[in-house]
Structure 1
């Protein structure tokens, strides 16, 4: 499973990009981009994967991702409702980065710094919806920028904000740290042979030391993270291809069908065939 680089569209006469994302359901590959991103959920629920963490979302919630923080969404297959969300993407270096040095924008600056780990806002739509409308639709460019700053300040004051634990942060860089190298190894090779021995060697640790390190960093054992990554890959193949389940099983990295089915039911609450049928019926 690749962590894909997403090129955010650039538009003339605007320093940020905002749009409404609508579809039968959200199901994207894990991706990253240099822009900060705010997603406000209007309809539909499901799971948001932020680097090594998974959170449940529902209508009214919002997530904020810092630059190059890998993330994706997977809508619930049990809902017969379209997924819809407001999305805003902007560079941290907007106005050369000097904007965030203004004392009036100190709260906004702290919010952006915190978003490097990922932020989750529960039931925020009621206090952010009007500002979104102004950000997207104001008839003047200055008005749209002012509305964006107002939205950031509103989010910075939100009582319902949760800063995701430090451990899952997987920032893309040309000189990745050992945790990032290991997670890239898992995501890029999950359909093939992945071993804890190879991961430990990559991190420059003994196997026992690496297992303790990984669990301390991500709050879950290495093998559990690997299995979840393979299940995510299987879900994507089930939705996007017509490959038989047994082919999906082996392509996603499992060695036998019975173990694949058992793990899939444990983590998705239904067998692979039913997951595919439910998802394509939406």
Structure 2
């Protein structure tokens, strides 16, 4: 059976995603994603599938999954019963890994472990017990504390002696082949046609399903109803377009696939908490701050500009972009 693609959304102001979920849950299916994943079971027993490996799991099961390696944990839970928190998850991308390699020579100690993770790496009870309190604290941590906890977890995994690889050496994950699955074809079509009219009935036909079956299928795999998912994708596109000062907000409204300005403003406000014009002004403020910093570094900052630089901006820029 071909695995489904999981879309992992890492916040722009964070380096990695940390979260937990219960059981049943929409990602409990045979799936893959381009990100690395540290996965810790805290409740239930059942069967674990990683590449071509099949094994049993219980609370304390700790596994590092590499990019595009299909995986799934199926719990043995009576039908109708729900578990509030079954597992803890950290997900981080290869771009983040590359940045760490470039910035920190010490990170090279992690490379062998990450290479092994492409087959999946399981850790024993000792490492699992040591990492669980860090994992639980990481769920609510903010700022630099997140990085400290994450690096501490990686240190435990790198130094762990109770680890073994899971999938066989011959197993090869093939994300190119996975991309041909039905949901991935649908998501790719949506991403490439956001400026056009997208009707759920048309996408259901593309997937070869009835509208009602497609609606359930789409929500199970994305966690969102079809219309809400499309609107989120269009808002993301609009945020990118708003960095282009040559485009008016009205132009962006239609380029992002919205059919009227009032609906665009309403949807943008609901997702971003501000109007598109305000979002653009804040982006301009951010850009102006960067440009002013580079200019100041190049020529030196005059003493009489110091009060205006309390906010990181020279007097002229601070006047042009007053605080909201």
Q: 1:13 corresponds to which residue?
A: 13
Distance verdict in 2 for CA 1:111–1:163, change over 3 Å: same
Q: C-alpha separation between the residues in 2 aligned to 1:84 and 1:173?
A: 27
Q: 1:265 corresponds to which residue?
A: none
Q: C-alpha separation between the residues in 1 aligned to 2:43 and 2:26?
A: 11
- Is the 8 Å Cα contact of residues 44 and 77 (structure 2) preserved in structure 1? no
Q: 1:73 corresponds to which residue?
A: 73
Distance verdict in 2 for CA 1:161–1:18, change over 3 Å: same
Q: C-alpha separation between the residues in 2 aligned to 1:144 and 1:43?
A: 24
Distance verdict in 2 for CA 1:26–1:128, change over 3 Å: farther
Residue 135 of structure 1 deviates from its aligned partner by 2.7
* Structure number with bigger Rg: 2
Deviation digits for residues 47-88 of structure 1 (CA, Å, limit 9, x no counterpart): 110111102111012011100001111112479783611101
Q: C-alpha separation between the residues in 2 aligned to 1:92 and 1:27?
A: 21
Q: C-alpha separation between the residues in 2 aligned to 1:159 and 1:81?
A: 35
- Is the 8 Å Cα contact of residues 51 and 168 (structure 1) preserved in structure 2? no
Q: 1:22 corresponds to which residue?
A: 22
Runs of 4+ in 1 over 6 A off after TM superposition: 78-81
Correspondence 1:248-259 to 2 at 5 A = none
Residue 169 of structure 1 deviates from its aligned partner by 2.9
Match of 1:85 among 77, 84, 87: 87
Q: 2:159 corresponds to which residue?
A: 157
Q: 1:228 corresponds to which residue?
A: none
Q: C-alpha separation between the residues in 1 aligned to 2:47 and 2:14?
A: 31
Q: 2:282 corresponds to which residue?
A: none
Q: 1:143 corresponds to which residue?
A: 145
Q: 1:234 corresponds to which residue?
A: none
1:119 aligns to 2:121 (yes or no): yes
Residue 103 of structure 1 deviates from its aligned partner by 3.0
Structure showing greater relative contact order (alpha-carbon pairs closer than 8 Å, 6 or more residues apart)? 1
Q: C-alpha separation between the residues in 2 aligned to 1:3 and 1:89?
A: 18
Match of 1:130 among 125, 129, 133: 133
Determine helix, strand or coil for the equivalent of 1:9: coil
- Is the 8 Å Cα contact of residues 23 and 82 (structure 2) preserved in structure 1? no
RMSD between aligned alpha carbons? 3.1
- Is the 8 Å Cα contact of residues 38 and 65 (structure 1) preserved in structure 2? yes
Q: C-alpha separation between the residues in 1 aligned to 2:111 and 2:3?
A: 27
Task: Structure 1 unaligned segments of length 5 or more: list them.
Answer: 189-239, 241-282
Task: Structure 2 unaligned segments of length 5 or more: list them.
Answer: 183-215, 217-324
Between 1:86-95 and 1:37-46, the stretch displaced more is 86-95
1:98 aligns to 2:99 (yes or no): yes
TM-score, structure 2 as length reference: 0.49
TM-score, structure 1 as length reference: 0.56
Determine helix, strand or coil for the equivalent of 2:171: coil
Deviation digits for residues 63-116 of structure 1 (CA, Å, limit 9, x no counterpart): 111000011111124797836111011102206x03135332233222111101
Distance verdict in 2 for CA 1:26–1:155, change over 3 Å: farther
Distance verdict in 2 for CA 1:48–1:58, change over 3 Å: same
